[in-house]
Structures are given as C-alpha cells and as structure tokens.
Structure 1
Amino acid sequence: MGGAADKRDVQPGAAGRAPAADRPENVRNVVLVGHSGAGKTTLVEALALTTGAVNRAGRVEDGGSVSDHDEIEQRQQRSVQLSLVPVEWGGIKVNVLDTPGYADFVGELRAGLRAADAALFVVSAAQDGEGIGGATRMVWDECAAVGMPRAVVVTHLESARAGFEEMAAQCAAELGGDSPDSVLPLYLPVHGPAGPDGHAPVTGLAGLLSQRVYDYSSGERTDAAPDAELLPLMAGARDRLIEGIIAESEDETLMDRYLGGEELDIKTLIEDLERAVARGTFHPVLAAAPAADGARQGLGTVELLELVTGGFPTPLERTVPPVTAPEGGGRTELACDPDGPLAAEVVKTSSDPYVGRISMVRVFSGTLRPDETVHVSGHGMEDRGHEDHDVDERVGALSSPFGKHQRPVPSARAGDLVCVAKLTRAETGDTLSSKERPLLMEPWVMPDPLLPVAIEAHSKADEDKLSQGLARLVAEDPTMRLEHNPDTRQVVLWCMGEAHADVALERLRSRYGVQVDAVPHRVPLRETFGAPVAARGRHVKQSGGHGQFAICEIQVEPLPVGSGIEFVDKVIGGAVPRQFIPSVEKGVRAQAERGVALGFSVVDIRVTLTDGKAHSVDSSDAAFQTAGALALREAAAGAPIHLLEPVAEVGVMVPDAYVGPVMSDLSGRRGRVLGTEPAGAGRSVVRAEVPEIEIGRYAVDLRSLSHGMGRFSRQYARHEPMPAQLAAKLRQEAAEHAR
C-alpha cells in the first residue's frame, strides 16, 4: 500500500485450490457495493486472476469460472444475487462478496453487508456513467452509521472519457461529508502515449506515499522511480494525503513535526493509514482495471489486495451481533473465537438442481463441521410468509464456492464464510448453534417489499406444485412477502420492484417447474349501504318429500365507518321460531362476506329482522340461512351501494430537494399531505394519507421521481368512501368483464 505492496509475495496460487483459513486473523470479508454497471463483477474476475484463483482464460482447473452466472443473470446481463468468491493473497484468505447493483435486489446487498467486515464501493470513472448514484450514497451513509470500514475503487479507466481525478474529487465531496479529506486517493493514474484518437491509456499507478510508479503495461506489475515531469503532479495530492492521514493519527505530535518540515517515515504513515482504515475513519480511493489480453495482473489489483489484507479489519475486530436464547432471556456477548460456542448465520439461501438447497453461512463464533447436528433458530418474519424455526438439523457437506462449482472444505472457523448443503429447514436469516446451547442472533434490518404482484397457476398441473414452489422461493429471499389475501382471494407476491418480480416468476418457472401468470392486483375494497331499505327473503321449494320453506323480512340501515355488521332481532309473536333466528343471521353475514354488488365484503350496516314465516315441517336451518342471504341481496337491489376503499398512512423519506415534487405527486394521487419532519443529514419525511389503489406502483414511481434516493413505508389506516366517479368506473369495468 503506497510502498508496502512491492514487499509482498505476488506470485499466483494454484488455480482451483480452495483457500483455507486456519485462524480468524488470516481472513478478510469484503463486500463490493455500487450501482449496476459500475464494474463490480469485472473487478472480482480481475482479483481472481491476479491471485491465481483462475488462469488467463478465466477458468479454474475443473473448468469453472468466477463469471459462471445462472441463466437469469445471463439473460438479463446483470447480477441479481449475492455471490461469494474466496481468493488468497499473501497467506490471507479474502472472501469477496459481489452484490447486485440494481435497487430491486437490495436484500442481497443487505445480506452481503451482514456477512462482511468492510466494504469496497465501486464507482465508474466514465463520464457517461452514473458516477456516484443516490442509492450508493445511501448505503455509504448506512455503513458510516455503524462504523463499517470503507474504501472506494474507481473503475472503467480504459474508457476514452474516463476521469479518475474528477471522480476522486466527487467522492471526496459527496462521500466525505463534513470531512472531505477523509476520502482521498492513494495513487494517481499514469498515462501512456496517446493513440490515433488522442486517448492516452492508463498504464500504471503512481504511489503517493512511496513515490514509486507501478507499471502494468507489460502484463506483469513492475515498479520504478517517477520521472521528473511526474513528481510535481504528485506533490499536491501527496501533501493532502499525508495531512489527511495525520489528522486521523493517534500520534498527536505528527502534525507539528510535519508542519515543522520533518520528513515523516513512510512506514509510520502506512501504519497510521491502515489503523484509520480499519477504524472506518479514513477511506482510500484506488483505481482498478481488468487485465489486458494475455496479462496476468489487472491494473491496480495488487494495490487493492494490499489494502484489503493490510488495512481492512480482521473478523476479530468486528463485534459479533447480539445473541439470545430462543426461549427468551438476556443477551449474550460472544467473541470471534473458533473454540467458543457455535453461532453462525445463514446469509443467503439458494437451490441447485443437482445438490438441492445450499446455504451461505457466516460463522461468527465457534467452528462449524460437516455431519454434525446443529440447532436452527429463526427468525421473526411470519408476516412475510417465513415461519419461525426451532429445530435440530444435520449439517451436510461444507464447501467453498467458485462460480457454479463447490469445492469441499473440512470445517469453517469463526470469522469465515462457507456454503452448507442440505439444510432443509434453515432459511435466510436463521441462526445455527449448538443443540446443547441454542442461540438466536439478532436479525439484520430488511426493507419492506411494497410492490404487489398477483399470480395464478397457469394450469391445473402448475396449481398442484404452486404451494411448494412459493414456499421454496420465499425461503430464499427474506425481502419477499407471500400473501394469501382472504378478501380478494388472490395469491400476492410482494416484491421490491419490477425486476425483482420478474426474477421471482422466472425462478418459479426455471428452478421449480411452476408456470404462473401475473394478473391485475385487486385492492380489497368494501361495500356498504347508502340509505335505509326494507327487503324480504323468500325461499320456498317443493320437490317431493320434505320441502324448503323460509321467509324473513329485514331492515338495513347504514352505520358509521368502522362499525362492522350489527344484527338485531325484533321478531314479535314467534313469526320466526327462536331456533332459526341465528340461522337468518348466519345467512346474512355469509352473504355480506360474499358482497352484494362487486363481490367485496359488506360492512358498516345494521340488519334488523322484523318478521317472517315458517313451516312446521319444511322449515330448517339451511332454509333460513338461504332466506337471510336472499333478503340482503334484495335489499341491495333497492338501495344505493357505496364502495369503500382502503387508505394507507404513508411516510416518504427523501432528500430535501425532492420534498416538493413528492408532495405534489402524493396530492395528485388523491393523497392528503399531513406535513413533513426532518430525518437528519439533509433528508425529510413526508407524511400523508393516500388511497391504496393509488400507490400500487409507488415503489417504482418513487424510485424514478427521487433518482433512487427515496424510500417509503405504508400502513393500513382505515376504509373511506370512494369518489362516485371512480366507483362508477369500477362498476362499468365489472359489467364489461361479466359480458
């Protein structure tokens, strides 16, 4: 790092060999964060080549590739799931977690952040790229809130319109916040001769601390002293970097010595830099590019690996998430100790058509071994279709992944990541612990899925497999919620966005063999009476033997919103025998549940039974139930029926610059804006009440409106009368559909 890199062994390892981690201090867990197209997966491939995990053709000895994606990723040309690529550098195992950059797959990003101890934010230097997107800034702020160490990697240096210096300045301004000097480059690009198009490619990096030039033009990293023309260009950036390091140093004498003209020891500066990076108070900016054809090392990959292994914290330096006993009790503080009690967490669940379910597990404490029995606890998300677990399971084979291949490992010690086969009950977010000492790890925060997608089985054969397929799908993805809506009788998948929904339906088809059709999502409306009305229900049939005879007369009157259904008996003189009065009520309530106009439940009415007739032989419980239902339908034919729509309490958190557009947009959705409140760091929350029928696609629309920087929550408030013109439109659509 700025001079330390050339002292390390940079020889590649054996392609295909699974890196081993004998102690937690020899592990680094790093998650790559950045918008879609920033170059995260390409960077992972470059690191794998530099470390010798793959050969120049990008393959390991068994034919696998780090870039082997599933068919969905190949078809969509983007990552949609968290992937783990373990590599080894200088005797250190580096677990590289590649996350999707598209906002719909934020659940995979959250899992990566949970499993990692530090984050590399990947941004593109291409001037036509997105640069630092709003979603990336939000994740940066979240990492800052928990003190996660971070660094920035600038990619796409090969682009003709790339500008490393401009992007580094933007990172300092947008990510540094009040401390822009905490986000500074360690190296500056060195350009080769300009080509016919005038573009001068980046051929190496100039180390600001070491004052050495690391040249990659030959395909192998070499270093040399900078020429006389380069030194003045490096001087200003070097001074600023040293001052930034000194500002974070624990040695309070360094600044005075530096200002006094003393030449500080490079080793001291590097040690202070590494400590500041590990504490999460200084964030280096580096540059990286894939290796040229035939080259073994991509530009900047050695420097990046040196930062990761020398500056990023070990698992020993991370606080283990709090754990409790599943049956309750106080919290237990654990340390990252291979000999301690077992506490591991499933951070990702996937299915392989040949192996079955595979669980990616982060071991926080203890040692996980194959074929041992562990306790599975989790995980408090029954509202999303994830049942709580409290069972014992036998661990299958342990393996280290590489692309589509799994390479066996004998055990996984505290601080490491591993894939576990055949955990049939464990789901993402569950805790694995000793069966003698069960533990439950505090879950990480998952965003709520807010885009509803109603589905139906394509055929009878698909219907038979749908339930099992949905259960397996939801087990893999805790950001997805499965709902069987009793009001609309629809099966609804609540997703993070349209891309998330597309991937879910494709996985149902390709992995689980279930073909489904997306159908319009129905908002659960209600029906109520608009005026008092009297009606008669007559059910008289004679078809040989005992007939059916029941007559009841009712009065229906509307009640205030939220009153439900009241049933009152005012029969005089036994016109309806006492034993059949509950039957009339049962029939009325059953018909109210089925609806009287558009098939939505009837609420907020009082039904009074005033009179009726019975037959000594032909009257029965069933006959009076039918008569009660008929009476309510007859009443509906003689009175106006109003539709009630659900209204949600909505909270929209956006940067202050978007508060006005959000308020205007909510008002255009028939919303009532209740006000705003500050949410810190230049952000505000807009509070409003909005009809749910107007926010079915708000998860997608808000992302577009706020350039990916907005979030919202919704909670059912109540049902309110729907405007007459909208109710009339729904009735017309229902009539046309019936024809």
Structure 2
Amino acid sequence: MGDKANTHPGAAGRAATADHPASVRNVVLVGHSGSGKTTLVEALALAAGAVNRAGRVEDGGTLSDYDEIEHRQQRSVQLSVVPLEWGGYKINLLDTPGYADFVGELRAGLRAADAALFVVSAAEGAEGVTGAPRAVWEECAAVGMPRAIVITHLEAARADFEEMTRVCAEAFGADDPDAVLPLYLPQHGATGPDGHAPVTGLIGLLSQRLYDYGSGTRREGEPDERRLPLITESRNRLIEGIISESEDETLMDRYLEGSEIGVETLVADLEKAVARGVFHPVLAAAPAPAGARAGLGTVELLELVTGGFPSPLEHAVPAVTTPQGASRPAPVCDPEGPLIAEVVKTASDPYVGRVSLVRVFSGTLRPDETVHVSGHGLVDRGQQEPALHEADERLGALSSPFGKQQRPLAQCVAGDLACVAKLAHAETGDTLSGREAPLLIEAWDMPDPLLPLAIEAHGKADEDKLSQGLARLVAEDPTMRLEQNPDTHQLVLWCLGEAHADVAMERLRSRYGVQVDLVPHKVSLRETFAGRAAGRGRHVKQSGGHGQFAICEIEVEPLPEGSGIEFVDKVVGGAVPRQFIPSVEKGVRSQAAKGVATGHPLVDVRVTLLDGKSHSVDSSDAAFQTAGALALREAAADARIHLLEPVAQVRVLVEDAYVGAVMSDLSGRRGRVVGTEQTAGGRTLIRADVPEIEIGRYAVDLRSLSHGTARFGRSYVRHEPMPPQVADRIRGQAEAVA
C-alpha cells in the first residue's frame, strides 16, 4: 500500500468480470447523506479507467444517472453497484443511500459486501460519525467485517484531517483507539487568498514518500523536510498499531529492542490486520480536478481495497437449511460447489421489468439454467397468504450493473454479483439454489417500519390495481410492511420515515399507475363497562300475520383485562325457551363487536341473561337476536363506559446527551418511563409505556429530537382506560361522523 501504484486499470465500456472468487472484492460504502460516497465512487471509476473524464461510459450514460424518483427527492434512495477492474481484480463498489429512511438499501449492501468503507466528510465534523454510521460500524464489528475510513471534503473551509482522524478514533475505536490510524498524511499546497491551503498530495507513513497529485497526475517524490518530525511521530504510532495486531508475536519484541522492521513486513501485517477486521486504516480522498485522471487518494484507496480487503473466500457464507428447516453443513465459496445465491435487492425497470441483484455465495450462476426459488414468506408483513416461495424458475440473461447500464455476463462465479431479469417468483431475501437439493439462506435482519400510512384507492380504477401494486412494492422493499387492520378495517403501509413514505407513494403512482389517498391512521380502540349495569331488550312487532316477539333482561359486569365477552345463562322456569338462549348470546356478541358508545368493540365484560318472555307463535331466532342487542345497548345507556386505548412498550436507545429531551418528550405523550439502563458507547436504553395514539409519528419526531442518533422499537402490551378528556374528544369525533 502506497508503494505499488497500479498501472493497469480497466477499460471503460466493457463489463468487469471475474473468473474466480480470489479476484473479487465486494465493498460497501457507508456514510451520511452528503458525505461524498457517490463522488468517491465516480473518482475511483475514473482512476480505474471505467469512465472517461466527463464521467461517462463508452456506451452512454453516467454513474450519476439516477431514476426519476431520485431526481425529485434530490437524494439517493437506492443501492447502486459499480464494478471496476484494477490490476487483475474485480471490485464491486456498493454505493448506499445515506439518508436514514433508506437503511434497508444499506442493509442490502452490507449483505452483499465483504468489507466496508466508511465515508466521513471533514466539513461535517463529529456529526459525520454519529447516528447510522456509528450503529453500522458496531454491526460490522459484531460480525468481524473489515472496515476502513475515508475522509472527504478536505477542500472545505476549516477542514482538518488530523482532527477528523481523532474524531473517528473516538467514535469508531472506543475499544482500541490505536486500531484507527491514518496510513497517509495530507500534503498542503500554498495558502490561497481565503486563507485555506488545499491538499495537493499524500505522504505515505510506511514508505515515507510523497504522492503528489497537484500537477494532475500522481507523481512520487520526497516529503517536505519541515514535516519530518510529524511524519516520524505518526509513523511510529502506526507501526506500533500494526505490530500490536500482528499474528507474529516476535515483531513487538524486535521493535522494542530497536530492530528495524522492513516496510514489506509491515505492509503484509497491515493487510492481514485489515482483512481480519482488527485494524482500520484512515485515508483521504478527493475527486480529480479538471484535466486530471486520478483524484487525490484514489490510487491509494484502490490499493487498500485489493491488497487489504478480503476476497469472498475469506468471508463466511451465511448459514443454510432446507426450505423445511433441516440443517445443512456450512457451504464454502467454491465456483464448483452447489449453487447458493441470494437476491439482495429487487427493482423494477420500465423497459426490462423486474431486475434482481444477486450475490452468489457458492457455485456458478449461468443464463438459461433452471434454479429453485425459496424464501421466508410474507405472513409477518400482513399478507393474507404467504407469497409463492417454492418454485422452479428458468434464469434469463445475466448482466453486470454500471450506473443505469446493464452489460451482459456469460456467468457469475461464487463471490460475485450479477443482475438477473424477470425472476417472477423471487423477492428480496430469497434464495436461488439447485433444483435437486433446494436450500434456504438464513434470513438477514431488517429494521422494523414504524411509521404508519393509512391509504385508500383514489377511484374505482385504482381499486383494481391497488393490491397488485402494493404487493410488488413490499416484494421489492422488505423494509415496508403491509397490514389490513381487522379492527379499524384500514389498509396500512408501514414505512421507515416520511421520505420513505414519499418514495412509496411516488412508486405506486409512476411505476404501477395507482393513485391513492392518505387518510388519518386509526388505532384499535376498545370499550368496556366501568361498573355493573342492567338492560332490558324488548322487540315486539305486530303487523298482521306472523309477528315478532322477544323480551330479555340482562346484567353486565366488568371483567379483568383479556377476558373478552363471557355469556352466562341464569334463566329459570323457561322464561326464555332453551332454543332461543343461543340467539340472545349471538345478538349480544354481535352488538359487542359493533360497540355500544363510540363504535369500537366491547371487551372484558360478563353478560348474564336473567329473565325474559316469549310467544309461542311470534318468537323466533331473529327476534331474540335483536332483543339481546337492544338489551346490551340499554345497559350501556345507563352505565359509565370506559374507552380503552392500546398501550405499547417503547424501547429507545439514545445517546446520553439526549436522554433528558427524550424522557421529557415521552412524558408529554402520556408515557410512563418504567426503566432506564446504561449501555456501551455512552448511550441509555429507555423503556416506557406509551399510548399508541400518541406515537403515530414518533419515528419522525424522535429522529428530529435526537439529531438522527436514536433508535426505537415498540410492541403492544395491553389496553387500558383512556383519560376522560381524551375519551370525550374521541366520542365527540365519533358523534360528528355519525
């Protein structure tokens, strides 16, 4: 690294291919929106010769050809893949959205990658490493994924590489700050009129050489002598950091004894430590100026990716089972092994149709072969039935994505990525395997969507297309969940945030031709009796011929939560004939389901049938059903009815600096804090019981309150009586609608 500049970049206009996993590098870029991820990808593509100076590929288009929705959103909303060739290696760069609402695309990138580049903007300061990047860093650490840090926007006023390195070490190296160290120091040019000295080159700490980009081409030379003391200090610290992570235990002893450790030995140990995920180098990068071929730091970064990041051979394949759940031996990344591939992303192209981005973990994927598609089902997303996840399907053409271009591939070996068109039965997260021995890859974690959108078709024509459009939407994006609420009868699409919701609505309109209206989201309220009450139901009608006659008297009393509706028969003397007692119960239960005060279901009461009257000719099943319902309504008219609201347990993980604000906000939502717990990294876990009616937009409000650093989860715990003033407002709204 830093001494082996690559002089054989790939060529623009042809697909980067790999014939063996050892020559593949899958790298995901992580960072806040605006950190410079996409600009960095374009700079790396230019340095590798994949695009020309204008940023265009030979067969048309650019890497920044976003879809129509992204242009309207003015932000990247989806994962994109850019394959490059560099020195005999194929590098798949997975550029992820930086906005929190599209974390599902980020998780897809993590699933497909073997290493991660955390892109941090020097213009953002400490804010660039908070929130999602820090959480993702911890996820990567938990599975041992190799990570490196790239600092961008060094041209910004007051940008300070050394300070940003220190900030990154504090945020990402909490356990071992010496595991987060720079490989290069920036070389500054002459100070301009604005007082800012631009970065024109990099000084390799191991090689002690200057790599100057100031002339538009990368030139090697000697560093400024005035910087030698700083170089020596930083170099010594870097060497100590590398040696402390070395697998050769004799290196530290030799170093402490004053022996000179060769650069080749240090580079080899550095690459091993990076690949093992125990050392995290910090680099700097900037786009190429006009007329230049390589942006600052791009060659060094490509060297790190090819030399320090692991191949798919070194990345454990996810656990697999049969679709029926039987365990199978852990597969290995072998092009000759059994086919095991996973759909990590599903998208719709207006011309091609459904396009599936696939990561091949074992075997080789070839066009025109038949594979078995299996998945985990969609029952938990509110579907009435699981989607078809046991199907054999013939593959179409394979292609390599490059911006909006699709370049044909003859095959895709284990460890590589490819796009497959028109996989009709495959959703994101599904497994492709051989027909003879179907397999299922262990599911990957996705965030729970917590922002509800209650939607209705705009018109009759939209009703016919709505279900199909929504089904395709949630099949493409597993961070959306569709629910048909049985209590409120609303169709609810759960999203991660407002931007996520906007994209969902726009995709329904533009891709699937469905216009929908958003309506207020309702929570599942209940009613119950506050005390004992009696009611008499009299249904007597005589209109000539066969009449209707049924009278029943009931008593209602409240029961503990969760008891439902209990019906008790205490009629004596045959006042209500035995054959009509079930009719009374049916009428009572039917009325309870409709509610007795505000139109919400009645629960947790015991209804006792005490007495009644019948007629030998005019009594009937229908008459006693009506009488039972009337009796329950009369009992409610003279009783105090509690309106019950659902209460959720909310778990908020928040940085200590925002604990007070979050707890105050929860209190304002009628929440009751039931416990707090200190966690690692200066954060607190807050557990509180909060009425669900108060947290409909909590996903949006918490993000604003904590500057995007907090996460929360929720789960239903119980229904409990609503405060009188809130209940009166709900009753008033119900009466206004009626």
For normalisation by structure 2, the TM-score amounts to: 0.95
Shift of 1:617: 4.7
Q: In the alignment, is residue 391 of structure 1 matched against residue 391 of structure 2?
A: yes
Q: CA separation in 2, counterparts of 1:344 and 1:196?
A: 56
Shift of 1:548: 4.2
Shift of 1:257: 3.2
Q: CA separation in 2, counterparts of 1:394 and 1:302?
A: 41
Shift of 1:541: 4.7
Describe the superposition over 1:41-79 as per-residue Cα deviations: whole angstroms up to 9, x where unpaired.
111111111112111111112212111111221112211
2:59 maps to 62
- Within-5 A mapping of 1:545-584: 546-584=546-584
Greater mean alpha carbon deviation, residues 240-249 or residues 554-563: 554-563
Greater mean alpha carbon deviation, residues 649-658 or residues 685-694: 649-658
Describe the superposition over 1:277-313 as per-residue Cα deviations: whole angstroms up to 9, x where unpaired.
1011111101111122232211111111110011100
1:534 maps to 534
1:232 maps to 229
Greater mean alpha carbon deviation, residues 167-176 or residues 260-269: 260-269
Which of 84, 87, 92 pairs up with 2:89?
92
Describe the superposition over 1:169-197 as per-residue Cα deviations: whole angstroms up to 9, x where unpaired.
21122211132111111111122222222
1:148 maps to 145
Describe the superposition over 1:667-701 as per-residue Cα deviations: whole angstroms up to 9, x where unpaired.
33322322233444444422222222222222223
Q: In the alignment, is residue 283 of structure 1 matched against residue 280 of structure 2?
A: yes
- Aligned-partner residue type, residue 240 of structure 2: E
Cα gap change, 1:542 to 1:87, in 2 (>3 Å) = farther
2:628 maps to 628
- Within-5 A mapping of 1:466-615: 466-541=466-541, 546-615=546-615
Describe the superposition over 1:456-484 as per-residue Cα deviations: whole angstroms up to 9, x where unpaired.
11222212211111111111111221111
- Within-5 A mapping of 1:142-541: 142-379=139-376, 382-385=379-382, 387=386, 389-541=389-541
Q: CA separation in 2, counterparts of 1:665 and 1:192?
A: 49
Greater mean alpha carbon deviation, residues 729-738 or residues 163-172: 729-738
Q: CA separation in 2, counterparts of 1:22 and 1:548?
A: 84
Aligned 8 A contact 2:647 2:716 in 1 = yes
Q: CA separation in 2, counterparts of 1:614 and 1:112?
A: 71
Q: Secondary structure at the match of 1:138?
A: helix
Shift of 1:168: 1.1
Describe the superposition over 1:228-276 as per-residue Cα deviations: whole angstroms up to 9, x where unpaired.
3343342222222122112222223333333444333211111111111
Aligned 8 A contact 2:126 2:164 in 1 = no
Greater mean alpha carbon deviation, residues 374-383 or residues 721-730: 374-383
Q: CA separation in 2, counterparts of 1:621 and 1:296?
A: 88
Shift of 1:202: 1.5
Aligned 8 A contact 1:654 1:711 in 2 = yes
Shift of 1:547: 4.7
Shift of 1:364: 0.5
Q: Which runs of 5+ in 2 are unaligned?
A: none
Greater mean alpha carbon deviation, residues 24-33 or residues 638-647: 638-647
Compute the RMSD of aligned alpha carbons: 2.0
Describe the superposition over 1:686-724 as per-residue Cα deviations: whole angstroms up to 9, x where unpaired.
222222222222222332333333222222111111111
Cα gap change, 1:411 to 1:618, in 2 (>3 Å) = farther
Q: CA separation in 1, counterparts of 2:25 and 2:434?
A: 25
Greater mean alpha carbon deviation, residues 621-630 or residues 340-349: 621-630
Q: Secondary structure at the match of 2:129?
A: coil
- Aligned-partner residue type, residue 354 of structure 2: R
- Aligned-partner residue type, residue 560 of structure 1: P
- Within-5 A mapping of 1:111-130: 111-126=108-123, 130=127
- Aligned-partner residue type, residue 556 of structure 1: V
Q: Secondary structure at the match of 2:181?
A: strand
Q: CA separation in 2, counterparts of 1:356 and 1:620?
A: 60
- Aligned-partner residue type, residue 9 of structure 1: T
1:713 maps to 713
Q: CA separation in 1, counterparts of 2:354 and 2:623?
A: 53
Aligned 8 A contact 2:362 2:415 in 1 = yes
Aligned 8 A contact 1:2 1:270 in 2 = no
Q: Secondary structure at the match of 1:293?
A: coil
- Aligned-partner residue type, residue 645 of structure 2: E
Q: CA separation in 2, counterparts of 1:594 and 1:418?
A: 54
Cα gap change, 1:31 to 1:612, in 2 (>3 Å) = same
Cα gap change, 1:644 to 1:203, in 2 (>3 Å) = same
Q: CA separation in 2, counterparts of 1:690 and 1:708?
A: 21
Q: CA separation in 2, counterparts of 1:619 and 1:396?
A: 69
Q: CA separation in 2, counterparts of 1:465 and 1:522?
A: 24
- Within-5 A mapping of 1:692-703: 692-703=692-703
Q: Secondary structure at the match of 1:131?
A: helix
Shift of 1:616: 4.5
- Aligned-partner residue type, residue 728 of structure 1: D
Greater mean alpha carbon deviation, residues 626-635 or residues 594-603: 626-635
Q: Secondary structure at the match of 2:225?
A: coil
Aligned 8 A contact 2:427 2:476 in 1 = yes
Q: CA separation in 2, counterparts of 1:331 and 1:599?
A: 53
Describe the superposition over 1:474-514 as per-residue Cα deviations: whole angstroms up to 9, x where unpaired.
11111221111111111111222222222212211121111
Q: CA separation in 2, counterparts of 1:731 and 1:115?
A: 52
- Aligned-partner residue type, residue 632 of structure 1: L
Q: Secondary structure at the match of 2:32?
A: coil
Q: CA separation in 1, counterparts of 2:541 and 2:302?
A: 86
Shift of 1:22: 0.2
Cα gap change, 1:396 to 1:617, in 2 (>3 Å) = farther
Shift of 1:380: 5.3
Greater mean alpha carbon deviation, residues 192-201 or residues 67-76: 192-201
Aligned 8 A contact 2:23 2:90 in 1 = yes
Greater mean alpha carbon deviation, residues 494-503 or residues 694-703: 694-703
Cα gap change, 1:629 to 1:708, in 2 (>3 Å) = same
Q: CA separation in 2, counterparts of 1:469 and 1:604?
A: 39
Query: Sequence identity, in percent?
Result: 76
Aligned 8 A contact 1:190 1:206 in 2 = yes
Greater mean alpha carbon deviation, residues 231-240 or residues 443-452: 231-240
1:30 maps to 27
2:7 maps to 9
- Aligned-partner residue type, residue 493 of structure 1: L
Aligned 8 A contact 1:127 1:163 in 2 = no
Aligned 8 A contact 1:151 1:284 in 2 = yes
Aligned 8 A contact 2:31 2:128 in 1 = no
| Count, aligned residues | 735
- Aligned-partner residue type, residue 337 of structure 1: D
Q: Secondary structure at the match of 1:74?
A: helix
Q: Secondary structure at the match of 1:52?
A: coil
Greater mean alpha carbon deviation, residues 601-610 or residues 276-285: 601-610
Aligned 8 A contact 1:128 1:161 in 2 = no
